[in-house]
Chains A and B, each alone.
Chain A
């Protein structure tokens, strides 16, 4: 990489960080009670009115922080999976983690609503079990895991779980509205304690993802070269997938199903930063935060007082963008 290029990339990374900071401050100020940038800052620093202080710390800041954490989690998860599959269309949902979590969460919400407190735990459990099923079925004694088998196995598992989701929605259609928020990935109604719960798990996941950078870079060279360089491909694919599933699972357990972040952000990161994971993975973390924060902020302000879950905004904006990437040749 020439000096010139790496300078340019550092600038892009800097701009993204600045944008993220700006978006954070703006988003904290936006809502039914509008605060200017200045008011936001003084309130955060403890100089504002009592009412503003409450709105910020009890409602807006937790929500904004959550968007930052979840966005980064999903982006890292998607980047690792795209490295494993050597396929730019890979998405955390491919591993079954979303549909598995959705089945368990729907079951609790619709069938045994008394256990709602256990939803995050069971979301992780359901997602984990589904991902495990995908990888068990993808495993073959001769050849181990190959991307194609993981993808096919993921499609099959997702189909089954999707069917169960449909079945549950029909059988319990009267109670369905309660579950819609979760199914569409909403960040509303979260408190600072939700943020603090997921924070250490997220940071641990990011560190694990960053430690995989060299492995991801070697996988770029294709499986024969990676093999030739002494890499145990099965172990590599499994480890990276495990971290990706973990990151997706903790995200889904907190906010429900937010699609497209894990698919699109790694793409954007690659387009702006190149294929070297030393650059595009850290950048992807920042970009993931930014994208989800913007999506959530748009969702809660565009049609206020109605709130559009971030997952819906991502789907509506992300879908066309994804088609655009495909038309461009989807490198």
Chain B
């Protein structure tokens, strides 16, 4: 689904991401984790062409991203940043409607088919009853769901989420992640997200990609990736890891800074 090959990204003359390669299968949820400044978000931004890369290439569903126009790209891929702002008087329904823009010529209006898709996106995200509400009147978790509804209206195959839970309380964090898991299962949506919480990453991802200093350290299933040694070497933190027999998702308990 997503094939990233030898991506090099610079900010100015400083190399931020170094020879980054990653292959993600259709229908997978992959979390990218790593310390602050490790280049996690940079990778997502480069994949979505928000920032340019020095070298390397990105293929989406077999097609070279550089050969696609922004508009073509926006029909197969959607990227949501950690916090999105919009004017206080935009309604949820209106916002979700903008998700149809990639499928329209600049002079075309939304038609019945588009409104059906908007309705569908609102239902999928449980935002149907909020459709007339102003975005500014929603709680953080509801707003995040509204943005995800907009993403769905784009009908992408690939969803990129940059720290989708950052500004939310623990219940809303789970809301958003449950929604992502549901959409992944029901719509076969491939998801790549940047997360900070290791347990969230462990619980909700098929695979984990660990980055430090712009290099991939490990890429694999949660039960293979999360070891005390790895977390100590990446974060400099001592942990205790609980491997539940039935689950593929180890629990990570943070103890203290490593000596």
Contacts and interface: CB of A to CB of B under 8 A. Distances in A.
Contacts of B102: 229-230
A276 B89 contact: yes
Grouping DSSP codes into helix (H, G, I), strand (E, B) and loop, the B interface class, with mixed when no group exceeds half, is loop
Contacts of A230: 69-75, 101-102
A214 B98 CA distance: 10
B89 A225 contact: no
Grouping DSSP codes into helix (H, G, I), strand (E, B) and loop, the A interface class, with mixed when no group exceeds half, is loop
A214 B104 CA distance: 11
B89 A229 contact: no
Interface string B43-81: 000001110100000000000000001111111001111
A218 B98 contact: yes
B84 A227 contact: no
Given A2-B132, A232-B70, A142 B89 contact: no
A231 interface: yes
A1 interface: yes
B158 to A, nearest CB: 12
Nearest to B100: A229
Given A2-B132, A227-B70, A228-B78, A221 B84 contact: yes
Nearest to B154: A229
A142 B49 CA distance: 12
Contacts of A217: 98
Nearest to A141: B52
Interface residues of A, number: 23
Nearest to A229: B101
A220 B89 CA distance: 11
B232 to A, nearest CB: 34
Interface in B236-259: none
Contact of B74 (A2, A215, A224, A228): A228
A222 B85 contact: yes
A276 B91 CA distance: 11
15 contacts: A1-B89, A142-B52, A211-B107, A217-B98, A222-B84, A222-B85, A224-B50, A227-B49, A228-B80, A230-B70, A230-B74, A230-B75, A230-B102, A275-B88, A331-B88
Interface of B: 48-50, 52, 69-75, 78-81, 84-91, 94-95, 98-99, 101-102, 106-107, 132, 154
